[in-house]
Structure formats: C-alpha cells, structure tokens
Amino acid sequence: MREKDVMTSITHLHGGHPFFVSLYCTFQDPTRLYFAMTYARNGDLLQCLQRLGSFDDEVTLFYSAEIVCALDFLHRCGIIHRDLKPENILLNDNRHIMLSDFGTAKFLNPEDNFGARDRDVLPRGEESHHRSRSTFVGTAQYVSPEVLVDGDVGPSCDYWALGAIIFQMVSGMPPFRSVNDYHTFQKIQKLDYSFPEGFPELPKDLVQKFLITDPRKRLGSVEMGGVDMVRSHPYFATIDWDNLSLKTPPELKPYLPASSGEPAFHSDYQIPLIEPGLDDAALTRLMGLSLKDFVPMSAHMSSVDSNRTGEDERNRKLSIQRQAHKYHRFVDDHLILKSGLLDKKKGLFARRRMFLLTEGPHIYYVDPVNMELKGKIPFSRRLRTEAKNFRTFFVHTPNRTYYLFDPERNALDWCNAIEALRERYLDELPDEPESPCTKSGKQKR
C-alpha cells in the first residue's frame, strides 16, 4: 500500500510532474492489487546502459539534470525515494525520464527534521517484534551509508544514489562493485571506490560531492544548501532548468569514451535488416586511415573461408583442435575459425578476453586467466560490424553493442571474418538473437 499512497500523493495531491509516472487508477482481485500507470515506451536507463555500455557527455548531463529536477519535486512533496537506480528511471515516448517504483519510498514528517529513525519498512504491528532487525531498503550498489547503519535517513540519500548513477553513466559501471551485497556494503561504508582513467573532471567533482559518507556534508542535503547548491554546480552551467522538460533529449547512440591512447568513438549506426555491416561507406571512411598502421593478420589466426570446408578436411582440423587447442572445451565441439585476445570494453573499463569465432556460427569469449567462459555474442541476421580504426571495432546486435579493441591491429580482419561467417549462415540465422548469456544463464563480463 505504500507505493499506492506515494503515487496518489505525487499524482493527485501535488498535481503530478512530467518526470514521474502518473497513477490513473487501482483495482484488485482477491490476491493482487493492480496499478494503471503511465506506459514507458522506451524502457529504462538500465536497459539503455546495458545496450550502449555508457553514455556520452551530452546524454549524461541531460539525464543527470532531469533526475535533479525530479528529486527536487519529490523532496518538496515530503517524500524520499530510497531506491533510486537506473532500473527505476523510465523513459517516456520522447525519451524524457519518469521516476518509478516507490515501494520503499518514505513520507517525511517535517517535525522530524529528516532525523526520524526509519522503522516503517516493516508491516504495521510488527515493529516492536523486529526492532533489532536491519531496516535496509534499496539496492546494494546505490544505497547510502546511513541506510546501512540504520541512521538518520533524509533526502540526501537520494543524492548519494544520483552520484552513483552519474558515475555509471559516464564510466559504464557503478562505483561500488563486489562479489556479493555484503562486500559491496563494506565498500560503501569505507567509501572504497576509484575513478577510472579518463573520467572527466566536472562530473568527477560532482560525484565526489555526492558520495560523502556524512549525509549532512553531502551536496544536496539541507545543511549544504539543498537543491540550489546542486543546480549551481559548474557541471550544470549550461542547463536551462526552467525549460528542461521542453527540450529534445539527445540521441542515445553507441559510444566508446577515449581511453588507452584511443580517441572517443561515436556511432550513428542503425541496425539494418539486410545490408552488410562492412559497407561501402565504412570502407571509404577506413581508406582515410594511414597505411603505416596496417599490420597483417597474425599467423596463428585462421581466416574464414567463404565456402563450406570439405567434410574430411573439417574433421581433420577438428580432431587436431580437440587435442591441441587449449580453448576447445569452451566451444561445444565447434571448429574454431579465428581466435585472438581482444579487450572487451564497457565505458571506461576494459577486460581482456580470448575471442573464439566458430562454425555454427558462434562468437565465444573466455577469461584467459581463470579459463572461464564469460559469454557469447549472439548471432542473428541483423548482427553487423563497424570498424572504427585498425584497432577498435564495434559489433552491433539488436539488443547490445559490443566494443572491442585489438592490440594486434587486426580489427578489419575481425570485421571481415565475422561478416563472412554471417553471410555463410545467413539462411539459417534467426532475425532476432537469443539473449547473450553464459551456460548458467547469467550475463557476465
């Protein structure tokens, strides 16, 4: 019932706001309560981050500003969200944000001065029985330190979450990450995080001011001047706060920030239905690259033959592979056509993986240190490649763009090989790929 009360207050008592979902009505059957709410046609920020990896500077600034506006309205309504995260930030038809999921939100009593102990997460009547139990609410990677220690919880806990979200939009990963929630909580309480190389200075300064363990000293808190001080931060110098909801949001496009000596790369790429990925436009652009940068394909990598390998020859190669290739156990007994170490990038983070292009067709990637299969890039008729230079290339799928870096400068070879294999199996491929999962069903890096 908490969510219904909060949404009723936002929508009807306070007149609603363009950056929030609206509650139109509720109804119930003997076992469930149903909500009729605004439809978010464009999904949520988490889905966008999963598809693109990270956002460019313009997109990050725009959505950060919209979240600030939404929190300002919410707090003026006397409500704190307490579970702000990318998954709860929806996008409407025009790609403006709509805050949602108020199941753990809290009404503030003005007489408490935001200092009441938060024990209303328990069902009514059970408070005394569970008084010693933890009152943690929220999501591990975005929860503030004061929530973890059952301390004073006020509006500044939402600004902590905003700091973590901005960090993720810029870099591709949240600031506090670990093997489980307990170790993530430990990192949060110790403020154990670091900025990756290449993190821009203005959003870095803002994030540092949001990720302060003392909520009274955190930017956005009443003691630090509230939302006015947030809006006056230099990061938001170009924002027209009064007309933000009327602006056209910037395009959400594949983007790889500058890192490791490589420039930033944008892409206007749209997934087509039939056109090949390495098209004339891409080849024309690549002809402008300096030929001195070109390095032929390494001898240990085999190129993809556009024709089916003779069955006898295939079986001979597969027999040798079973005995001699250390990565054969990861490819489900498929013949490996091309392999090599690539950096799999997500925002400002990169992890080296052994990529294995096989018959089937399949693209597996393996952690070469722990010898663990991390996942597969799902093949479909709509998969396309895009070479950015001789070391960096993108693999576009309908649900995600993969950003890959080849230290051996064989990006063109990889694009050609993947495209040739896609054409070879074109009639057998599905229009839409399966989810990019490991055998266990969990997506990994």
* Burial per residue of 241-265, b for 16 or more beta-carbon CB atoms within 10 angstroms, e otherwise: eeebeeeebbebebbbbebeebeeb
Q: Of 83, 77, 150, 84, which Cα lies nearest the Cα of 110?
A: 77
* 64 token code pair: 């950060």
Give the contacts of 337 (CB within 8 A, at least 6 positions apart): 302, 303, 304, 305, 357, 358, 359, 417, 421
Phi and psi, residue 50, nearest 5°? -65, -35
The Cα–Cα gap between 444 and 118 comes to 35
The Cα–Cα gap between 7 and 49 comes to 26
CA Rg value for the chain? 25
Residue 219, amino acid = L
Q: Single out the catalytic residue among 44, 83, 158, 413.
A: 83
Does residue 278 contact residue 383 with C-beta atoms inside 8 Å?
A: no
The Cα–Cα gap between 66 and 419 comes to 40
Does residue 157 contact residue 215 with C-beta atoms inside 8 Å?
A: yes
In this structure, how many other beta carbons lie within 10 angstroms of the beta carbon of residue 305?
12
Helical residues (DSSP H) of 194-310, grouped into ranges: 201-210, 226-231, 280-286
The Cα–Cα gap between 71 and 63 comes to 12
């200075």: which residue's tokens?
201
Q: Of 85, 87, 91, which Cα lies nearest the Cα of 41?
A: 91
Q: Which H helix or E strand runs over 185? A: helix 181-190
Its sign, for the CA torsion 82, 227, 108, 37, is: negative
The Cα–Cα gap between 65 and 46 comes to 17
Does residue 346 contact residue 445 with C-beta atoms inside 8 Å?
A: yes
The pairing of beta strand 372-377 with beta strand 106-107: unpaired
Catalytic residue list contains 83:
yes
- Check residue 382 and report its DSSP letter: T
Is the preceding omega at residue 18 within 30 degrees of 0, hence cis? Answer: no
Query: Mind telling me the catalytic residues?
Result: 83
